């Protein structure tokens, strides 16, 4: 594995761990107060933006490694993220 691909994997995993931690923190709070503070809003945005950054890192790592299966999987994941994230953002601000 090339150093660049390894670095991209580390960045992607770190971002997805950040998403997981932010999601858990938000879910542990009561629904009514989940987005009450500025910190909560940053956590909410972290759950939406991190996959948008992490998945392209995984796609580039698969390209560098010439991993066809990984390339297909991560590309399909990017399609999902490109559809799901705007929908969730629209739902959030549609209610506000």
- Please report the pLDDT score of residue 55 as a whole number: 92
Helix (H, G, I), strand (E, B) or coil at 2: coil
- Please report the pLDDT score of residue 84 as a whole number: 86
- Please report the pLDDT score of residue 75 as a whole number: 92
3-state helix, strand, coil in the chain (%, to 5): 90, 0, 10
State the residue for tokens 């953002």.
89
* CA atoms of 25 and 78, how far apart (whole Å): 25
- Please report the pLDDT score of residue 82 as a whole number: 87
- Please report the pLDDT score of residue 95 as a whole number: 60
- Please report the pLDDT score of residue 93 as a whole number: 73
CB atoms within 10 A of CB 2: 10
- pLDDT digit string (tens) for the chain, length 96 residues: 899 999 999 999 999 999 999 989 888 888 788 788 888 889 888 988 999 999 999 999 999 999 999 999 999 999 998 888 888 878 877 764
Number of structural domains the chain divides into: 1
Q: Which stretches of 24-88 are assigned E, i.e. beta strand? A: none
Range of the domain at 9: 3-95
């Amino acid at each position: 594995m090339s150093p660049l691909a390894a670095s991209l994997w580390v960045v992607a995993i770190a971002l997805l761990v950040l998403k997981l931690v932010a999601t858990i923190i938000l879910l542990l709070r009561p629904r009514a107060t989940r987005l009450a503070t500025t910190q909560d809003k940053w956590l909410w945005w972290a759950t939406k933006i991190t996959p948008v950054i992490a998945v392209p890192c995984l796609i580039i790592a698969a390209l560098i490694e010439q991993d066809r299966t990984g390339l297909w999987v991560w590309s399909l994941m990017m399609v999902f993220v490109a559809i799901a994230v705007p929908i969730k953002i629209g739902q959030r601000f549609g209610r506000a």
